[in-house]
Amino acid sequence: MPYLCVMVFTSKFHGYLQGRNFSGVPLILLLASLLSINPAYAQTARSAITIHSEENQVIDATTAPATQYLNGNVRIFHEGTFMYCDTAILQGSQLRMYHNVVMMQNDTIRIFADSVYYNGDSLVAYVYGNLTLQNGATRKLYSNFLRYDAQNKIGYSPGDTRLVDGSSSLVSRRGKYALNEKKAWFYKQVQVIGEDFTMATDSLAYQTTTQIATFLAPVRIDKDTSRLYAEQGWFDLDDKQGDFIQNAAFQEGATIARADTIHYDGKKDLIILHSDTTLSTYFTKQDTAFAKSIYYDRGKEIYILAGQASYQSPDNAVKGDKVTYEKMTGEMHVSGRSQVSDPPFLIDADTLDYNKSSKFGKADGKVIWRDTSAKTAIIADHVLYRGESKYMKAHNDAGRPLFITEMDTDTMFLRADTLRAFRRIVAVKVNTGNERTQQNELAETAGISDTLNRTDSLLLNSSPLADVMPEGKDSVRMDTLDFFTGEGKVRIFKSDMQAICDTLLFHQRDSVFLLRGMPIVWSDSTQIAGDTIDLRMKKQKIDKVIVRSQATVVSTEDDLFYDQITGRQIEAAFLEGKLSRMDVSGNAQLVYYLRDDEKAYIGVNTTEASSMTFYLEDNKGKEIRNFNKPQSKVLPMEKTDHEALRVKGFQWSPEKRPDSSSSL
């Protein structure tokens, strides 16, 4: 009978209740009566959700089970979880809480949010809005949504999340938090921000008790001017130390270290490199180290190298199975096999034949050939070397040799089937002003390239190489030039420039690269191609690019429409590494897509002229000058056959472009 009375009460006075405030009216006895008789509240495997207090309550008994509306200082308990809020709606095992919601478990787990939906059967809570999960005194998790398994104490966050643990913050796009295990997993665009470092990765596991982060994807750590990279490993956020495993790399300014594993201790300023399948490498402006294991105490400046170890500084060069060198005291200890140092050259290998008097060397097996004066290195299977003529030839049994050179604050990587370096004495024609002209400079360099077909025995001859005698009546003087060549499938990678060709010749003194055999050069979104390309460097930066015969320049931002320039010859000038001027001569042609302020295409300009000059600023067009009766027109985007606009010799070959030093 009490059950029927409640139903009548609710039906008759429903309108009356809606229009009045029942703050302070005790309805707990009514609720208790209802729950004790209603069969829907029979005891199940889960205990019932218990209401401990509220300021007022309204019960709608027309629903099954009845719906309870709780308001003001609501306190609820269920299965070891205390819950607090301003407003709640309870229907059987389904609980909704709003405003200033707090969930508490044990003494350490607290969840604060705007609202929560809680299922008393599954013990799963869906937490929304301005969410904070606190686990311990200094550990807090912030998000806008959390699926929380209250029984297993596991939270899942599918959205942006930030975990603050002491002085470190971990940010990700989604995460999982196992509070019993004191462990968290972060996924997608993970970033860790510490007191003096930042870490970026895509997947990360984090042990909250030890503050150790385990990398589940490639990771990078930045600290001041230093950078660490690896594909696996771990890092202690508190002690600032860890192991970086697989393709590990460390960089700080001009200092570069690579190894299978790099152990880093930020507090002790200590780096330990170890590799099993290759040699660990450590490059600085003054020191170079190769070994299976490299221990470097940067504070005390102590090197300990073990396993095929080699070390070189401006004052010392040594190689052995183990090398210990203290730079402050100059003390050095070496054991095992030796190496050859012939400044500015250094050669080490598995096997090495070297004659100091004749400076002739033949190295085989994991050869590393370096020129410290030019800041270059060659890694190959075999190297043939003669110091008197500065001749070197490098090739591999499998794969291809690698050439590395430091250029300004950047590094250039080059691979080819065969690499050579040599010195040649040539006759140089000078003009009446006793200055070498640009034409003579190019002519003599081109003449050297013809000698590449000569035999190695000629190049290694003890007598000077045959002179190149220019024709003409101008005065002639002798000059000594050093050259570097790459022959066969040349591939170049530099952060701001990439190139491919069949043959490359580098004139060291004048810093001129000659690319021959279907050369292509890329810079940013621009591709340059032609029969031949000359790259001129100045202060270790690109100063001028000259493209001869069927020269084309193509650029695009979306791989849909292509800005194009073509002519018989294109000469591009650079200022501080940025394109500033471009001169196109001989049947010059321009295809340029016009855009509005919102970058939308509004038309395409086509121009033909005898020659053109382009002025650029920050790699963007500033002014175009056309010469000798130019013909220009603007075509609409919709009614234009864009394929037909492609200039003669057009090619767009992003698949051929080297995208990293490892892709060469």
Inform me whether the pLDDT recorded for 306 exceeds 50.
yes
- Which residues pair with residue 245 across a beta bridge? 232, 261
Inform me whether the pLDDT recorded for 20 exceeds 60.
no
Q: How confident is the model at residue 254 (pLDDT cuts 50, 70, 90)?
A: confident
User: Which domains are assigned to the chain?
Assistant: 1-158 (2.60.450.10)
* Segment (H or E) for 30: helix 28-37
Contact 42, 69 (CB under 8 A): no
Q: How confident is the model at residue 73 (pLDDT cuts 50, 70, 90)?
A: very high
SS3 call for 440: helix
Q: Which residue has the higher pLDDT, 523 or 147?
A: 147
Give the model's pLDDT for residue 331: 64
Inform me whether the pLDDT recorded for 604 exceeds 50.
yes
Q: How confident is the model at residue 635 (pLDDT cuts 50, 70, 90)?
A: very high
Lowest mean pLDDT across 223-232, 244-253, 476-485: 476-485
Question: How far apart (Å, rounded) are the C-alpha atoms in residues 318 and 371?
Answer: 15
Question: Taking all residues of the chain, what is their mean pLDDT, rounded to a whole number?
Answer: 80
Please tell me the number of Cα atoms within 13 Å of 363 on its side-chain side.
Answer: 29
- The 10s digit of each residue's pLDDT in 139-183 is 888 998 999 999 999 999 998 989 888 888 889 999 999 988 889
Inform me whether the pLDDT recorded for 566 exceeds 50.
yes
607-623 average pLDDT score: 84
CB within 8 A of 51, min separation 6: which ones?
Answer: 28, 31, 57, 68, 70, 74, 75, 76, 90
Q: How many helical (H) and strand (E) elements, i.e. helices and strands, does the chain have?
A: 5, 48
Give the model's pLDDT for residue 451: 43
Tokens of 390: 């500065």
Give the model's pLDDT for residue 333: 60
Inform me whether the pLDDT recorded for 374 exceeds 50.
yes
CB within 8 A of 433, min separation 6: which ones?
Answer: none
Contact 197, 221 (CB under 8 A): yes
Inform me whether the pLDDT recorded for 291 exceeds 80.
yes
Q: Which residue, 285, 286, 288, 234, is CA-closest to 258?
A: 288
Q: How confident is the model at residue 9 (pLDDT cuts 50, 70, 90)?
A: very low
Q: Which residue has the higher pLDDT, 457 or 313?
A: 313
Inform me whether the pLDDT recorded for 351 exceeds 60.
yes
381-397 average pLDDT score: 85
Residue 587 burial (CB < 10 Å; 0-12/13-18/19+)?
Answer: middle
Inform me whether the pLDDT recorded for 643 exceeds 80.
yes
Give the model's pLDDT for residue 626: 86
Q: How confident is the model at residue 664 (pLDDT cuts 50, 70, 90)?
A: confident
In the chain the first and final C-alpha atoms are separated, in Å, by 87
* Segment (H or E) for 8: helix 2-12
Inform me whether the pLDDT recorded for 19 exceeds 60.
no
Lowest mean pLDDT across 144-148, 523-527, 609-613, 637-641: 523-527
Give the model's pLDDT for residue 42: 37
- The 10s digit of each residue's pLDDT in 429-450 is 665 444 444 434 443 444 444 4
- The 10s digit of each residue's pLDDT in 105-123 is 887 889 999 999 999 999 9
Contact 478, 426 (CB under 8 A): yes
Inform me whether the pLDDT recorded for 132 exceeds 80.
yes
Lowest mean pLDDT across 111-115, 210-214, 311-315, 551-555: 311-315
Contact 202, 195 (CB under 8 A): no
